[in-house]
Amino acid sequence: MLSLLIVTLSTCAASAAIDKRLDVPAGYVAAPYYPAPHGGWTSDWSESYRKASLIVSNLTLAEKTNITAGSGIFMGRCVGNTGSALRADIPQLCLQDGPLGVRNSDHNTAFPPGITVGATFDKDLMHARGVAIGEEFRGKGVNVHLGPSVGPLGRKPRGGRNWEGFGADPVLQGFGGSLTIEGVQSVGVIATIKHFIGNEQEQYRMYSLVQPGISSNIDDRTLHELYLWPFAEGVRSGVGAVMVAYNAVNGSACSQNSYLINNLLKDELGFQGFVMSDWLAQISGVPSTLAGLDMSMPGDINTIPLLGNSYWMYEYSRAILNGSVPVDRLDDSVTRILAAWFQMGQDQSYPEPNFSTNTQDAEGPLYPGALVSPTGVVNEFVVVNTSEHAEVARNISRDAITLLKNNNGSLPLTRNATLKVFGTDAEKNPDGINSCSDQGCDKGTLGMGWGSGSARYPYMDSPIDGFKSRGANYTFFNTDSFPSNSNPTTGDTAIVFINADSGENYITVENNPGDRTSANLNAWHNGDQLVKDVAAKYTNVIVIIHTVGPILLEAWHDLPSVSAILIAHLPGQEAGDALMQVLYGDVSPSGHLPYTIPKSESDYPASASLVGFELGQPQDTFSEGLYIDYRHFNKEAITPRYAFGHGLSYTTFTYTNATITSVTPLTAIPPTRPAKGATPSYSTAIPPASEAYWPANFNRIWRYLYSWLEKADADAAAAAANTSTYPYPAGYSNVQKAGPAAGGVQGGNPALFDIAYNISVVVTNTGRRSGKAVAQLYVQYPTGIDVDTPIIQLRDFAKTAELAGGESQTLEVRVTRKDVSVWDVGRQNWVVPSVEGDYGVWVGAASDALALRCGTASETCEEGVASPV
Ligand code: NOJ
């Protein structure tokens, strides 16, 4: 341990040594992969690379290293602020959280988070939210939006940040993430897909002075088929940035893991943008550089930030001068960053930041992290939230609401129903809707979890606001203990609000350090008891749950008076009217569970529980492999309380008249990938030391990070230049590779995304009320193949428009080559295990409600078939 600390502290540039990884269980490998692939080889980025390379070839060493790192924590208006190259008109870039809206700002929309978006199963809403988020970030002058989050994937139901992503399935995450990216980037903002990768729990995630970050030990097949999948989709959508996670994978920190960054991300997935560290996730200088990291955020060293020390910036200049880092590595990083900037058109009158993440005041220190800072205007209170954005947010909140149970048609409510409303979750936080920094408390209506993925609410339209504006006949008991004065009367409808929260590790809420360690999967604030007490006195009880993820319902689910249960997920600012529209039947609920709800926590694989304290590096071994969430429940034949994808409506739908058409014929192995195109080429000579000298008479701000060196230091570094003395990692080579067979364009070999089968299905509303239906498509691999696969796996989905009773709509869904392949670890390629085999393509309303099967062998579809699970 001690040696690790010494290495961590001393891994700045010239003195760096390659740290020996700590042991992980046998079979979990992060094989070295060098060098970092140059970007620019796909045709869709070539023009941006051309523009970037013209600039890079004229930048000095110190200008280049200034662009690759932040100016220091709290050293600017945004949560991350790169250095500039003003001589070349390259401004500082503003990087800002988070996935659901502009964090720590004003006049922004607090959109519903990813988990709610996932529950809509609505691709149009996923995209519309991305556009709206992009418009707000652009309006605030943010260059780089730090979202979407598709990792954690949701392997651990108690994991703190699952709610920032779209659900416990790679395909749902894949669509949620890529449609968000396409929306955000359509208005010129660089999106950041995060956290790469395996960041499935909050505790022990970070490397610190006392402990290395947790190692997520993931085998190559599981990595490809589950955790990497949504990242591949994001890269395919042209995402401009990737943020690496805090944790290690297979013993090697994600920020310096060449297997992950160089191999999987930049070569196999063909990622053309830049890779940034999570905040203080960088733990070394040269090793992280060689492993493919392009940008250090916020720029400081991880152990003791805020003292003006960096692994990069001035140290990166030194490392180039003394030959520790090959010049082409720096040039590639800078080119990637500027290419992303050009790719989004940010060279064309892009707004400058007009807000501060550090304060709500109009004026304040420009560099709050500095000991002495100039002051000035930091918040200009630019209004970016529009009524159109609020409508997108409201529509998502509404269309995510998931009706789990509805006995005797107790929902929708009649206009004049007499309501008794219980639970503090029904009304705004009495201390103020933004009274807890980064929403780090669970008080009042729960619209989002806590941490960097939160935003300040411009308002909170609470459920009580909703009842009020409906003119509902209600009495509200703003308590989580059953009140003695509620006076139950025949004909009353009781509505109970409960919730479950979680968040990011740097805040502990009610003894939950991000992950739900204390609350477990139970409702917070004795919610179960409240429901039971209400159910003992009232005969018609409706339970409404705001939750970050799975929650146990068993304590009261089967009580005869509990007639209806709604999961309203996390509605952001739009909790009230969205819910009213569903409760009163203006619309039918159309959300579906983006995860399984179990009957007991012990129903999950034991390996998916939270890892506790361990001496040394905590080890989190993903030994359940592909079998997370519904894949596990199906394999073990465990009946959940509610299956993945479950969600009722006020009406009923049929799925009929399906057709399946083969489109691109399959072969066992995909056709040969296209070769890489040309990438920019620059001089590889070490630049003169003078390019890193401090400018004369420069007014330095103490603790601010700069890329210059004292003349003597720069000269000494240049004098020491001798690449042969640097202890390059095992397997190091500086010769660019052709790239793996599984690569080819952004996302991988383009043939992986060829459509193998098109499926159409007629969805008919067979009831009287109008409503929207979701068609979920799951693939079942043929029997008799020699590779183990989950029984069914979600591969696509589509949602109808609002259908009136009797109305039909034909939905189109598809199956790609990748959807019927498995990752063959030996061949390092996607292989179709049975080209002639009969894949079952199941379509229906939930993972356990599949009665329509199309067979790929017969190319016919059959209705009324027994569900495969
Ligand atoms: C750490 C979080 O993990 C990441 O998601 C966030 O973007 C950064 N902090 C910046 O706040």
CATH number of the domain bearing residue 338: 3.20.20.300
Q: What is the CATH number of the domain that holds 820?
A: 2.60.40.10
Helix, strand, or coil here: 701? coil
Residues 658 and 645 occupy one common structural domain: no
Task: Assess if residue 373 is contained within a domain.
Answer: no
Q: Name the pairing type of β-strands 94-96 and 492-500.
A: unpaired
Per-residue pLDDT at 20 exceeds 90: no
Residue 467, H or E segment: helix 463-470
For residue 533, tell me if it sits in a domain: yes
- Decide if 241 is inside a domain: yes
> What integer is the mean pLDDT of 769-777?
98
Task: Write the residue with the smallest CA distance to atom 5 of ligand 1.
Answer: 452
Q: Which residue's CA is the nearest one to ligand 1's atom 3?
A: 278
Return the ligand 1 atom nearest residue 205 CA.
3
Centre of ligand 1 to C-alpha 73, Å, is 12
Same domain, 636 and 666: no
The residue whose CA is least distant from atom 11 of ligand 1 is 452
Evaluate whether 112 touches 157 at the Cβ level (below 8 Å): no
Spatial CA neighbour of 402 closest among 743, 118, 810, 66: 118
> What's the gap in Å between 79 CA and the centre of ligand 1?
9
Binding-site residues, ligand 1, Cβ < 6 A = 79, 97, 146, 194, 278-279, 452
Question: Is the pLDDT at 12 greater than 90, yes or no?
Answer: no
pLDDT of 756 reads 98
Over 90: is that where the pLDDT of 56 sits?
A: yes
Using pLDDT thresholds of 50, 70 and 90, give the confidence band for residue 761. very high
Reported confidence tier of residue 171, pLDDT bands at 50, 70, 90: very high
Tally the C-alpha atoms within 13 A of residue 627's C-alpha that lie toward its C-beta.
Answer: 18
Residues 573 and 490 in one domain: yes
Q: Is the pLDDT of residue 682 over 60?
A: yes
Cα 504 to ligand 1 centre (Å): 9
CA of 57 to the centre of ligand 1 (A): 32
Q: Does residue 704 sit in the same domain as residue 579? A: no
Q: Is the pTM of this model over 0.75?
A: yes
Give the atom of ligand 1 at the shortest distance from the alpha carbon of 194: 5
Nearest CA to ligand 1 atom 8: 279
Task: Judge contact between 193 and 180, C-beta under 8 A.
Answer: no
Q: Which of 81, 104, 243, 244 to mutate to test the pocket of ligand 1 (most atoms within 8 A of CB)?
A: 243
pLDDT at 515 over 60: yes
Tell me how far apart the alpha carbons of residues 488 and 564 are, in angstroms, rounded to a whole number.
18
Residue 608 reports pLDDT greater than 90: yes
Mutate to test the pocket of ligand 1, among 78, 79, 82, 97 (most ligand atoms within 8 A of CB): 97
First to last CA, the chain: 48
Q: What is the CATH number of the domain that holds 446?
A: 3.40.50.1700
C-beta separation of 509 from 441 below 8 A: yes
- Give residue 16's pLDDT band: very low, low, confident or very high (50, 70, 90): very low
- Output the 3-class SS for 301-354: CCCCCCCCCCCCCHHHHHHHHCCCCCHHHHHHHHHHHHHHHHHCCCCCCCCCCC
How far, in Å, CA of 302 to CA of 318, rounded?
19
Give CA separation, 746 vs 45, 235, 583, in Å: 10, 6, 44
Dist CA 131 CA 442 (whole Å): 29
The number of helix segments (H) and strand segments (E) in the chain equals 18, 28
Encode pLDDT of 702-760 as tens digits. Answer: 999 999 999 999 999 999 997 556 778 777 888 999 999 999 999 999 999 999 999 99
Q: How far is CA 784 from the centre of its chain?
A: 36
Ligand 1 mutation pick, 102, 104, 145, 146, max ligand atoms within 8 A of CB: 146
Write down the mean pLDDT value for the chain: 96
Report which secondary-structure segment, H or E, holds 95: strand 94-96
112 domain-assigned: no
| 579, part of any domain | yes
Instruction: From the CA of 453, give the closest atom in ligand 1.
Output: 5
Q: Which atom of ligand 1 is nearest to the CA of 80?
A: 10
Q: How many domains does the chain have?
A: 3
CA of residue 810 to ligand 1 center, whole Å: 42
Q: Which tens digits make up the pLDDT trace of 623-647?
A: 999 999 999 999 999 999 999 999 9
Ligand 1: atom nearest CA of 97 is: 7
Beta bridge partners of 152: none
pLDDT score for 19: 56
pLDDT of residue 592: 99
- Nearest residue (by CA) to ligand 1, atom 9, is 279
pLDDT tens for 220-274 read: 999 999 999 999 999 999 999 999 999 999 999 999 999 999 999 999 999 999 9
* Distance (Å) from CA 597 to ligand 1 centroid: 28
**Domain, as residue range, for 789:** 654-672+749-863
Q: Which atom of ligand 1 is nearest to the CA of 98?
A: 7
| pLDDT class of 606 with cuts at 50, 70, 90 | very high
Residues marked as catalytic: 278
Please give the Cα distance from 452 to 716 (Å, whole number). 41
Report how far ligand 1's centroid is from the alpha carbon of 590 (Å): 32
If asked whether residues 716 and 804 sit together in one domain, one would say: no
336 and 403, same domain (yes or no)? no
Q: Is residue 100 part of a domain?
A: no
The preferred substitution site among 279, 450, 506 for testing ligand 1, maximizing ligand atoms within 8 Å of CB, is: 279
317/223 same-domain check: yes
As a whole number of angstroms, the distance between CA 256 and CA 464 comes to: 49
Average pLDDT over residues 37-43: 98
pLDDT at residue 4, as a whole number: 29
pLDDT confidence bin for 11, thresholds 50/70/90: very low
Residue 208 falls inside a structural domain: yes
Is there a single domain that holds both residue 627 and residue 659?
no
> Does residue 7 register a pLDDT over 50?
no
pLDDT at 5: 28
Query: Same domain for 314 and 230?
Result: yes
Contact predicate 278/297, CB 8 Å: yes
Same structural domain for residues 420 and 493?
yes
Question: Cβ neighbours of residue 25 under 8 Å, at least 6 residues apart?
Answer: 217, 619, 621
Pairing between strand 822-824 and 829-831? antiparallel
Is residue 29 domain-resident?
A: no
Ligand 1 atom 1 nearest Cα: 279
One-letter amino acid of 614: E
**Residue with CA nearest ligand 1 atom 6:** 452
- Atom of ligand 1 at shortest range from CA of 452: 11
Average pLDDT over residues 161-184: 98
> How distant, in Å, are the alpha carbons of 68, 177, 311, 747 from that of 238?
20, 11, 29, 9
Res. 72 pLDDT band, cuts 50 70 90 = very high
| Other CB atoms within 10 A of residue 9 CB | 16
- CA 147 to ligand 1 center in whole angstroms: 9
Do 554 and 438 share a domain, yes or no?
yes
What distance in angstroms lies between residue 153's CA and the mean position of ligand 1's atoms?
Answer: 16
779 and 754 in a single domain? The answer is yes
